[in-house]
Amino acid sequence: MSALWGAVLLASLACLAIKLAGHVLPEHWLAQPRVARVAALVTVALLSALVAVQTATAGDRLVVDARLPALGVAAVALALRAPFVLVVVLAAATAAGLRLLGMP
Amino acid sequence: MTPHDPSTAARRQAVSVSLATGLYGVSFGALSVAAGLSLPQTMALSLLMFSGGSQFAFIGVVGSGGALGAAVASATLLGARNGLYGAQLTPLLDLPWRLRVPAAQLTIDESTAVATAQPTRSAARTGFWWTGAGVFVLWNLFTLLGALAGDRLGDPRAYGLDAAAAAAFLALVWPRLAGRAAQGVAAAAVVVALVTTPLLPTGVPVLLAALVAIVVGLVTTPRASRAGRTP
């Protein structure tokens, strides 16, 4: 079995274990405001960092290419309350269009 | 059954949420094969991990050439909130033990949101199971479609799929950005991730950003309601 398969299964098991813990652990453990607050902030931080990395890096370099204006279009669509699928499609179309025009 | 029956309303809500969420399984499937995962690996993530944010994080790190350990850690950290959802749902749904494992697997943003929005326990149960099962079936179906289509696309950049991945994360974080603390943490996370990208192995900057959030969350106390609202 490849290392990638191992990682897929390990991460999946970890995610299921967390879900199960929520349903079987004593409620007051997880209901603490501080725990909830940290979990919410970790989610925000991870997703924001992923946006940044997915938009402006390639390997270990910072790059500016068609992804950046595409993300701008996605942000405008989100501000206008466009549904998820439309946001994603608009971003892809923007990047694809700009690349057709010669942007890296 | 009247139109005012709360369970009917819950079911209707569940169907629309399932459709809206299930559809974006297409982008996950396509992005996953573009990131270098095989069709069975892509399906394993949707069937077993079944948590959109975690799945996108996993393929995001793998696709950018990051260490597998960082991919596992990112996915797991993003799954942490599902544990908190379970703690909310257990008293609300009051399920027998034999149903807790399937209920745990179906515990995601959407099923929790629909269940907790219902006025009665029976409507909450209806909302939870219909949303959880509905999203699960459609999410996996559309993951398969996306992966099959993605396999035939060629260079994913030509279709802007790399930008689509970033947009997907932005859409996931967008509704969570209300409040000063969340906005501050988001800004700090972006700076930390970008500044450390040239210095650290791929995947690690994202984890470092999560660490910032943990520290901020532990050392700051939420300020009591400002402008009459709690964060």
pLDDT digits (tens, 9 = 90+) for A1-45: 699 999 999 999 999 999 999 999 887 777 788 888 888 899 899
Q: Measure A65 CA to nearest chain B CA, in Å.
A: 10
Is residue A3 located within the same domain as residue A37? Answer: no
Is residue A40 located within the same domain as residue A70? Answer: yes
Sorted by where each begins, the domain ranges of chain B are 6-176, 178-231
Question: Is A103 an interface residue toward B (CB < 8 Å)?
Answer: no
pLDDT on residue A27: 75
Is residue A20 located within the same domain as residue A31? Answer: no
Q: Which of A21, A38, A88 sits opposite B27 (nearest CB)?
A: A88
Is residue A62 located within the same domain as residue A15? Answer: no
Inter-chain contact B54–A87, Cβ cutoff 8 Å?
Answer: no
Is residue A37 located within the same domain as residue A75? Answer: yes
Helix (H) / strand (E) containing B17 = helix B6-23
Is residue A21 located within the same domain as residue A55? Answer: no
- Gap between the terminal Cα atoms of chain B: 38
Question: How is residue B6 written in tokens?
Answer: 């709360």
pLDDT of B228 > 50? The answer is no
Is residue A35 located within the same domain as residue A49? Answer: yes
> Over the range B134-143, which residues count as b (16 or more CB within 10 Å of their CB) and which as e?
bbbebbbbbb
Is residue A58 located within the same domain as residue A82? Answer: yes
Range of the domain at A4: 1-26
Is residue A54 located within the same domain as residue A19? Answer: no
For residues B122 and B6, the answer to whether their CB atoms sit within 8 Å is yes
A67-90 pLDDT per residue, tens: 999 999 999 999 999 987 899 899
Is residue A70 located within the same domain as residue A82? Answer: yes
Is residue A47 located within the same domain as residue A96? Answer: yes
Is residue A21 located within the same domain as residue A41? Answer: no
Q: What type of residue is B85? A: Y
DSSP state letters, A11-57:
HHHHHHHHHHHHHHS-HHHH--HHHHHHHHHHHHHHHHHHHHHHHHE
Number of domains in chain A: 2
Residues of A in contact with B16 (CB under 8 A): none
Looking at this predicted complex, what is its ipTM?
0.90
